[in-house]
């Protein structure tokens, strides 16, 4: 019995990489964590990764049952996540996120970093489908190893992106924050649009 399906591992890993987008999350992470102590930033990178992995794991194990029980459709999940991201993006664009507090340290790691930026609707649906389609033990192992490997990449990306802050200084951080706000607002609007089109197609 084959205990590891390399092709399936590669497929799930690449799909999650495209959806969760470690390079794209870097400027947003830098913007949300700027002004904090290095130790706090590293802690937030770890917390965000852990939260995302936890959410993905829960939905991978019993995601479809959770959505069915709550009568929540995937398009509804996408619209809700998009609205949440849009609120965060507006804060970044207007500068309201420039004065972090201890409470916001925790919130930023959990929301929006952990969810819905990392563990967003796209990643959740991908994992639910991958787990459902994995028939053998080897395929299940391959899917879960790909999920863990993807989160390790996310953590390393955020952890070492802190070096960029030291290079770009305060002025660069402000610029990155504004650009990240624009990027995040575009992601949010696209996610909301995808959810609305999902409703129109009758997926809700």
Exposed, middle or buried by CB within 10 Å (0-12, 13-18, 19+), for 2?
exposed
pLDDT at 55: 95
- Among 12-16, 37-41, 137-141, which is the least confidently predicted range? 37-41
Dist CA 34 CA 183 (whole Å): 17
Q: Is the dihedral of CA 195, 197, 203, 204 positive or negative?
A: positive
Structure tokens at 139: 């395929």
Peptide bond into 116 cis (omega under 30): yes
- Is the model more confident about 105 or about 22? 22
**Stated pTM of the model:** 0.76
- Among 9-23, 49-63, 82-96, 136-150, which is the least confidently predicted range? 82-96
Dist CA 154 CA 33 (whole Å): 15
Which DSSP string corresponds to 128-145?
A: HHHHHH--SHHHHHHHHH
pLDDT at 97: 52
pLDDT at 85: 81
* 65 Cβ contact list (under 8 Å, min separation 6): none
Q: Are 2 and 138 in contact (CB under 8 A)?
A: yes
Q: What is the pLDDT of residues 165-191, one digit of tens each?
A: 777 776 777 787 788 788 888 888 988
Average pLDDT over residues 43-56: 95
Q: Is the pLDDT of residue 103 over 70?
A: no
Q: Are 24 and 161 in contact (CB under 8 A)?
A: no
Q: Are 178 and 92 in contact (CB under 8 A)?
A: yes
Q: Is the pLDDT of residue 95 over 80?
A: no
Q: Is the pLDDT of residue 17 over 50?
A: yes
Average pLDDT over residues 38-48: 92
pLDDT at 168: 73
Q: Is the pLDDT of residue 32 over 70?
A: yes
């Amino acid at each position: 019995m084959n205990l590891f399906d390399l092709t399936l591992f590669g497929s799930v890993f690449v799909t999650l990489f495209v959806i969760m987008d470690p390079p794209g999350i870097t400027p947003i992470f830098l913007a949300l964590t700027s002004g904090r102590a290095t130790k706090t930033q590293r802690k937030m990178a770890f917390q965000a990764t852990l939260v995302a992995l936890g959410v993905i794991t829960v939905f991978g194990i019993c995601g479809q049952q959770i959505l069915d029980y709550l009568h929540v459709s995937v398009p509804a999940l996408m619209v809700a996540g998009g609205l949440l991201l849009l609120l965060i993006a507006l804060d970044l664009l207007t500068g309201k996120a420039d004065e972090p507090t201890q409470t916001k340290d925790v919130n930023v790691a959990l929301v929006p970093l952990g969810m819905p930026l990392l563990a967003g609707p796209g990643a959740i649906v991908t994992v639910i489908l991958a787990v459902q389609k994995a028939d053998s033990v080897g395929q299940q192992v391959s899917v879960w190893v790909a999920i863990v490997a993807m989160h390790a990449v996310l953590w390393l990306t955020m952890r070492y992106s802190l070096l960029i802050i030291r290079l770009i200084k305060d002025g660069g951080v402000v610029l990155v924050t504004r650009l990240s706000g624009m990027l995040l607002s575009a992601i949010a609007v696209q996610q909301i649009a995808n959810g609305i089109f999902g409703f129109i197609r009758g997926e809700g």
